[in-house]
Amino acid sequence: MLLIVAAVALALAIVYSIARSIASYQRLAHIPGPRWAAWTDFWLVRNQLSGKLNFKLHDINSRYGDLARIGPNWVVCGDPGEIRRIWAARSSYKRAYWYRGLRMDPYRDSTFSTLDDAVHNELRTKMLPGYGGKDVDGLHEAIDAQVAAFVKLLEDKYLAGNPAKSHLPYRTVDIARKVQFFTLDVISKLAFGDAFGCLAADADMFDYIKTTEHTLPIFVTVALLPWMIDLLQSPYMRPLVPNVRNMVGFGTVMGLAQQAVDGRYSEKPVVKRDMLGSFVKHGLSRDEAEGEAMVQIVAGSDTTATAIRATLLYIITNPQVYARLQREIDEGVRAGRISSPISDAEARRFPYLQAVIREGMRMWPPATGLLPKFSATDDIICGVRVPAGTSVAWAPWTVMHNKAVFGEDSYQFRPERWLDAPPEQLRVMEQTAMLGFAGGSRYECLGKNVAMIELNKIFVELLRRFDIVLVDPTQPWNSTNAAIFIQSDMNVRITRREEVVEA
């Protein structure tokens, strides 16, 4: 008897799950996409784990059109105008459950992971003055110090000789790694008050990079599976799930965040005019400040490192661009328009430099998470009805290579497009490229100002001093996509320039 009941229960469960799958299939059956993606999230999981999801989404949009189905409840949109509308500050779209998977602490939200608009707005309001540098002293100087440390590291350990003349040996350096030391030191200095010291030690301090490279692909994959998020974040699972706080790397940095924050909330609180000080002043609680300090490190290091690496790669593999940028820098130094190091304000006055930075971020957008939003009501996207509750992801490569916006040669690295475009086209190009920072949305990157200061300085300080060539142009780097990029082995040879132009 018991066996019959069990068999009937199993049969009912199977029928129920088949009926559910068919219903879920039919909901979005009118939206084209890969066949398996319509039935199971494992299509997305497999492609996320491939490390090439950014390119795959672009293939999908190229094949099926600007709106395609990539999961039972997922679509991907590659139309820049539609993404701007969906993300817009006043849009009724909200963050989809994917963001819950981005909790660094499984039991607590941050700006990055909260699904609650009111909480999100409140956190942003408290942090905007600090991120904007409004009540922060020495923001630019802190970045300058890390730029100097970066240059010193290269000069002390990695300068190669000109093969024809110099006594220096043949040397190469994996610049991808050193760039991340730089961005980590900048952001840790700003977030915690003390730089990790990666540049000084020429090492991945606390194994932070190593750990994130292992854990981030898992994080972003789990984020695709709502049931898995619930399971791993359930308080009942606490004894079974590894606690990030105890992990080498992540845990150590969380410990540092805690230490930095403790001092500000102790009985005799340390009061400083730095970013953390600004967050405290504007009412962030101790727990929030700790979580947000950690967010700064994760959100601000890999992304900016990728922007620097990719732009540098495009510069050194495009001789005309390289020559023109170096000429602009040299002329600026000669004319006394560039201090040492260049200031942010000065850098903004160099049109070709600005064009190169924009073009680099466009060609290789550093933040490529799905960033899904959903609408509580049915909507029409790219002329197609999208039922309420569907997760709408963006396809960064499709958006950033749109020919109507950027021109027929949108697959080429051509900074000149930013100088030649008529004003109306330039406006649309700017708005589209700034989607890389979620620009114009209520989720706009809080660290954009900091990232831009770093970008404005780093290329000038490298190219005014050094010549940089790829060791093996057939294998420029190893690059894996996991919402951000994990990049290494960008091996270059750095030589001192024959004639360093002095002011």
- How far apart (Å, rounded) are the C-alpha atoms in residues 51 and 37? 18
- Select from 278, 298, 304 the least CA-distant residue to 452: 304
Q: φ, ψ for residue 46 (rounded to 5)?
A: -60, -45
- How far apart (Å, rounded) are the C-alpha atoms in residues 286 and 240? 27
Is residue 252 close enough to count as binding ligand HEM by CB under 6 A?
A: no
Q: How far is the CB of 328 from ligand HEM (least distance, A)?
A: 22
- How far apart (Å, rounded) are the C-alpha atoms in residues 447 and 367? 13
Is residue 111 close enough to count as binding ligand HEM by CB under 6 A?
A: yes
Is residue 367 close enough to count as binding ligand HEM by CB under 6 A?
A: yes
Distances 127 to 85, 422, 469 between C-alpha atoms, Å: 25, 36, 40
Q: Which two tokens stand for residue 420?
A: 């030649």
Cβ neighbours of residue 77 closer than 8 Å, sequence gap 6 or more: 61, 66, 67, 83, 86, 381, 382, 392, 393, 394, 395
What is the identity of the amino acid at 52? K
Which ranges in 65-107 belong to alpha helices (H)?
A: 80-87
Is residue 101 close enough to count as binding ligand HEM by CB under 6 A?
A: no
3-class state of residue 124 by DSSP: helix
Q: How far is the CB of 423 from ligand HEM (least distance, A)?
A: 25
- Select from 109, 111, 93 the least CA-distant residue to 394: 93
Site string for ligand HEM, 125-164 (x = CB under 6 A): ----------------------------------------
- How far apart (Å, rounded) are the C-alpha atoms in residues 51 and 278? 37
Q: How far is the CB of 466 from ligand HEM (least distance, A)?
A: 22
Q: Binder to ligand HEM among 307, 325, 370, 433 (CB under 6 A)? A: 307
Is residue 391 close enough to count as binding ligand HEM by CB under 6 A?
A: no
Q: How far is the CB of 10 from ligand HEM (least distance, A)?
A: 42
Q: Binder to ligand HEM among 68, 142, 153, 446 (CB under 6 A)? A: 446
- How far apart (Å, rounded) are the C-alpha atoms in residues 56 and 64? 12
Q: Binder to ligand HEM among 47, 73, 188, 296 (CB under 6 A)? A: 296
Is residue 332 close enough to count as binding ligand HEM by CB under 6 A?
A: no
Determine the interface stretch with ligand HEM among 46-54, 153-161, 386-394, 441-449 (rule: CB under 6 A). Answer: 441-449
Is residue 363 close enough to count as binding ligand HEM by CB under 6 A?
A: no
DSSP letter, residue 434: G
Determine the interface stretch with ligand HEM among 133-141, 153-161, 303-311, 470-478 (rule: CB under 6 A). Answer: 303-311
CB neighbourhood size of 13 (10 A):
10
Q: How far is the CB of 307 from ligand HEM (least distance, A)?
A: 4
Determine the interface stretch with ligand HEM among 133-141, 147-155, 207-215, 447-455 (rule: CB under 6 A). Answer: 447-455
Is residue 437 close enough to count as binding ligand HEM by CB under 6 A?
A: yes
Is residue 304 close enough to count as binding ligand HEM by CB under 6 A?
A: yes
Is residue 438 close enough to count as binding ligand HEM by CB under 6 A?
A: yes
- Select from 318, 310, 313, 355 the least CA-distant residue to 456: 355
Determine the interface stretch with ligand HEM among 28-36, 231-239, 296-304, 383-391 (rule: CB under 6 A). Answer: 296-304
Which residues are at the interface with ligand HEM (CB under 6 A)?
111-112, 124, 187, 295-296, 299-300, 303-304, 307, 366-367, 371, 436-438, 443, 445-447, 450-451
